[in-house]
Chain A
């Protein structure tokens, strides 16, 4: 549509500028605040231009952290977040790819039932099933002991020939506990399934005639073809994992497993004193960096994966 109405141009630009201001202003304030000393931010006009304490703030946060709250340097939190985000992203992609492969390319009993069960879990994100999930992570054997209770066995010990097994295995305060419950993903499984359905049958048949078994077909043909989809999902899932807040807050008490998103929350919730906003903003800016880098680094593949139709 080509139109030439000057006032329309003015209005549309105005709307765009206001929109950008709404999005960018908080970021700008955070960035500026992270370069000031703490007291500069407590008096009335909030500075809108960079101050001189930037280097000090960043050095302090990266090396020692805030002493009166847990005292963990931000590097550790960033590392924890990175482990969590990467494990979730890679784990989700790996599981979804194989699940979608099984559902699309193999005929086994209850195939569609499996698919629909996976699909239904879309309606059950962690926030909904948080209590039962917590219980399972707190003790992996909970489902088993509950089942045994149903049949009249009490207690958490099984004795098999002189060997006593205590049914108690907790994943609280561990990377496994942080990531495992978030790894199963119906969304990604569904996306890969939809993609696999668009791969022409002839390609599968040609590979069969060329002597490629199922796993070889998966590795040599499907995986390279899904490359852009994998990249797009990786970006989305990495950010999903990085931004996890509620779950890590619930299951970690050990300060060495603090992730950066919940770390920031702890920095703000201080007793008896004003939060040190300059340092909080420094942490926020640092916490923003990895997802931004991932998006920028994978932008080209990401867009390709979302729009590409060529097979």
Chain B
């Protein structure tokens, strides 16, 4: 049990590439923190620096009250779960789980007790004599977890532990890992590129982009007040719609390029007129507009029925939507709707749920 403190950590590779541009993060004791971001954003590098598998170029990493920068991974009092489990293929489950304890010179009966306890928690009781190759993916995952928890470390580090599992098992293991962490109360750092995994598991999230922590907060904070276009687009599925707009002279309205006017949200009234902005609106906050003048003309291209929700994809007449979704806007309505494809409907956005970002920097206004 310990808190984890990361201050001013940077990583520069010998070839000059700067992977991490100075990150500060305090993880209180027992918190489950998730590092999330697209591949290459430095989240795994940061985790590996905490583990001691990568050197720290600048700044300090503190676990409990020790600065661990110069310590060997084994001396940092952490345990790590790897993406491909990294079980020792020639050892039985029992040997896999006890290897770390044996290396640390624990007495035999203490090892036995801890392994049995962990096996009980993880429902591995009958499997202790098996080899990893005789186990299913989910069981291997549990053994990897078991190897971490027998050590009773100060912190767990997870490096995309679920990405090798199939979708159904992933949801199940997600719940199990979260429950286990609650039960043990161990500080955990979890790396994933899957934003759903991140949202569902995290006490707090760190959204990383190109070696920078874009935003740190609870999942709901990040969802409701994304600090940048990047965070807004990354968190939430389907992702947020972005449209370029200009603040009208009255400072209370936004004008999209097709002359559709949207009411400016209250918080945005500080914005000076004429300023170019990027307006973000989540798919579920676009509704049918009763008022044809101040609405967005939306031509339906494709409809997806998810059962509980209906997703409409379409182009907003002359609005040039930005983002990776190919210029399509997404609308999410709860319930079952069957508007014909090709139809043009008028949409309005809830002013309270409009997000304004600076057009140049992408930061929240």
A contact set with B: CB distance below 8 Å? 200, 202-203, 205-212, 216, 220-221, 224-225, 227, 310-311
Contacts and interface: CB of A to CB of B under 8 A. Distances in A.
Contact of B73 (A203, A209, A224, A227): A209
Q: Which among B85, B87, B103, B147 has the highest number of chain A CB atoms within 10 Å?
A: B103
A209 B84 contact: no
B120 to A, nearest CB: 21
A208 B86 contact: no
| Majority secondary structure of chain B interface residues (helix, strand, loop or mixed) | loop
A227 B90 CA distance: 10
Interface of A is mostly: helix
Contacts of B80: 205-206, 209
Of listed A207, A224, A225, A227, residue having the most chain B CB within 10 A = A207
Q: Which of A210, A211, A225, A227 has the most CB of B within 10 A?
A: A210
A249 B44 CA distance: 60
A304 to B, nearest CB: 13
Contact of B74 (A208, A220, A225, A227): A208
A225 B90 contact: yes
A216 B104 CA distance: 12
Contact of B104 (A202, A211, A227): A211
B83 interface: yes
Interface string B75-98: 000111011111111100000000
Contact of A210 (B74, B89, B90): B74
Given A211-B104, A225-B89, A200 B74 contact: no
Contacts of A200: 84, 86
Nearest to A311: B89
A202 B133 contact: no
13 contacts: A200-B84, A202-B86, A203-B86, A206-B82, A206-B88, A208-B74, A209-B80, A210-B147, A211-B100, A211-B103, A216-B103, A221-B88, A224-B90
B247 interface: no
Nearest to B90: A224
B103 A212 contact: yes
B100 A220 contact: no
B263 to A, nearest CB: 53
B223 interface: no
A208 to B, nearest CB: 5
Contacts of A202: 82-86
Q: Closest 5 A-B residue pairs measured CB to CB?
A: A211-B74, A202-B86, A210-B100, A211-B103, A206-B86
A209 B51 contact: yes
Contacts of A224: 90
B74 A209 contact: yes
Contacts of B87: 206
Given A202-B86, A208-B72, A212-B103, 5 more contacts: A202-B84, A211-B74, A212-B99, A224-B90, A311-B89
B74 A205 contact: no
B302 interface: no
Nearest to A206: B86
A72 B78 CA distance: 66
A310 to B, nearest CB: 7
A205 B133 contact: no
A75 B147 CA distance: 54
A208 B53 contact: yes
Contacts of A205: 51, 53, 73, 80, 82, 86
A299 to B, nearest CB: 21
Contacts of A207: 88, 99
Contacts of B84: 200, 202
Contacts of A221: 88, 90
Nearest to B103: A211
A220 B103 CA distance: 11
A149 to B, nearest CB: 45
A200 B84 CA distance: 9
Contacts of B72: 208
Which of A202, A221, A224 has the most chain B CB atoms closer than 10 A to its own CB? A202
B289 to A, nearest CB: 53
Nearest to B98: A210
Contacts of A227: 90
A225 B88 CA distance: 9
